[in-house]
Amino acid sequence: MRLRQRFFRRDAVTVARELLGKELRSGAVRLRITEVEAYRADDSACHAYHGRTPRTSVMFGPPGRAYVYLCYGLHHMLNVVTGPVGEASAVLIRACEPVAGLDIVRERRGGKGGKGPALLTGPGKVAQALGVDRSWCGHRLYAAGGLELHAGRAPSSVLVGPRIGIDYASPEHRELPWRFAAGDSPWVSHRRALECEGA
């Protein structure tokens, strides 16, 4: 079952945590989401923190669409737009585990990462495995066709910790526990920096 648009029309942190276990589907490829990061409009780590630009306009809604950007000119990053129209918040998909289409994933990854978690632990790896690039920016993830977000199996436990690679953000935002990961999956990056939720 595809997720409905109303699922995304909520706070980025709430949506981020609930995206764990959901499935990204693109053709024969199905990936279970195992790690995410939330970004809010009032967060200095958020691309839209300083306002709307041609690059960030899709972040302002409607929710449930893909926000794809190119990082360092090398890696595409897949984000899910959240919140009400005009809020500019999103969730970065940091890692996944394969459910179906593993041969396609390996081919798209160019043989990198082997057979274990290194294959899909990293946002650039996830986008590459799905065949996602900037042309997918603005795509409706709740609609049929192309890239879709479906219901899945929720993790038995959730890990939380600070986000990665946001040294440019204000000190008060760098340590926010807005990175979430599935505690029951080895397909998680930088696991040592995470703690079990509620611990």
Q: Show the domains of the chain with their CATH numbers.
A: 5-194 (3.10.300.10)
The DSSP-derived string for 119-155 is GTBSHHHHHHHHT--GGGTT-BTTSSSSEEEE--PPP
pLDDT, one tens digit per residue, over 83-119 is 999 999 999 999 999 999 999 999 999 888 777 899 9
pLDDT at 122 over 90: yes
Task: Name the burial class of residue 4, with classes exposed (0-12), middle (13-18) and buried (19+) by CB atoms within 10 angstroms of its CB.
Answer: exposed
**What per-residue confidence (pLDDT) applies to 198?**
66
* Mean pLDDT over each residue of the chain, to the nearest integer: 95
Q: Long-range CB contacts (< 8 A, 24+ apart) of 135-139?
A: 136/66, 136/68, 136/78, 137/58, 137/66, 137/67, 137/68, 137/69, 138/58, 138/65, 138/66, 139/65, 139/66
112 vs 60: which has the higher pLDDT: 60
Split at pLDDT 50, 70, 90, the class of 74 is confident
pLDDT at 153 over 60: yes
pLDDT, one tens digit per residue, over 29-45 is 999 999 999 999 999 99
Backbone angles phi, psi at 62, to 5 degrees: -65, 160
Window from 120-124, 135-139, 188-192 with minimum mean pLDDT: 188-192
| Percentage of residues in the chain having pLDDT higher than 70 | 98
Split at pLDDT 50, 70, 90, the class of 71 is confident
Pairing outcome for strands 75-82 and 89-100: antiparallel
Here the tokens at position 118 are 């290194």
pLDDT at 26 over 70: yes
pLDDT at 199 over 60: no
